[in-house]
Amino acid sequence: MVTVLHHPLVDHRMVYLRDANTKPKLFRELVSELTVFLVYEALRDLLRTKEVTVETPLTTTVGKKVADEIIIVPILRAGMGMLDGMLSVLPYAKVGVLGMQRNEETAEPIPYYAKVPPAHGEELAILIDPMFATGGSAIDAVSQLKKLGYRRIVFLNIVSAPEGIANFEQRHPDVPIYTAAKDEKLNSRHYIVPGLGDAGDRIFGTI
């Protein structure tokens, strides 16, 4: 259920995203661009479509329109850095937010806010968060979405750790994961190695 993007344009952007000298403006742009690559790949087989008749200037033909209602759910605060990229591809989507604060001693998530559109059963919820370290925040976020009635969920992230993937798959084996990079490991502080530092700090310039 894990798809890692393998593409020269993704690899090229990851070099600059990881670089400690990359400034917030460029960092935000790279996050948005990588998010677009992720959403294109993730929705290739997940989106349902319906056939429609189209009148072209020359004739009538049949095309396909997206039939799904889509809910984008960033995990605050770093997930907000991926939202512009998502909305550039899915401008008609609804947006919900889930607030998670990381306990720096235990690396466990502390939920503090939730505002998500009500589920009606068949919507596609796209959870977004740049960093996928221990998996705690993503696991908790998916659990919240399932309690709200969401049955179709996909998780997009930019950098993932094998520990997070393993933890997530134990709890939510039905939720596919799409990532731009699968890194080596977590260090003793639960940061991804080689990683790119704290994505939230780098997106918002709070380093």
Query: Which residue in the block uniquely carries the two structure tokens 């750790």?
Result: 161
**Residues 6 or more apart whose Cβ sits within 8 Å of residue 136:** 102, 107, 108, 109, 167
Query: What is the per-residue burial (b if ≥16 Cβ within 10 Å, else e) of 41-64?
Result: bbbeeeeeeeeeeeeeeeeeeeee
Task: Give strand pairing partners of 111.
Answer: 100
- Report whether 68 contacts 119 (CB < 8 A): no
User: Considering only 20-24, 81-85, 102-106, which range has the smallest mean pLDDT?
Assistant: 102-106
Q: Provide the mean pLDDT of the chain.
A: 93
Sign of the CA dihedral 58, 62, 67, 72? negative
User: How many residues make up the chain in this entry?
Assistant: 207
Q: What is the pTM of this model?
A: 0.92
Looking at per-residue pLDDT, the higher value among 104 and 172 belongs to: 172
Q: Where are the domains of the chain?
A: 2-204
Parallel, antiparallel or unpaired: strands 152-160 and 177-182: parallel
Is the Cβ–Cβ distance between 140 and 172 less than 8 Å? no
Instruction: Look at residue 205 and give its three-state secondary structure.
Output: coil
Beta bridge pairs of residue 110:
101
pLDDT tens across 108-166, in order?
778 788 899 989 878 999 999 999 999 999 999 999 999 999 999 999 999 999 999 99
CB 57 within 8 A of CB 104: no
The percentage of the chain sitting over the pLDDT mark of 70, rounded to a whole number, equals 98
The least confident of 49-58, 70-79, 111-120 is 111-120
Residues with catalytic function: 102, 106, 198, 201
Q: What are phi and psi of 182, to 5 degrees?
A: -105, 110
CATH architecture of residue range(s) 2-204 = 3-Layer(aba) Sandwich (3.40)
> Is residue 107 scored above 70 in pLDDT?
no
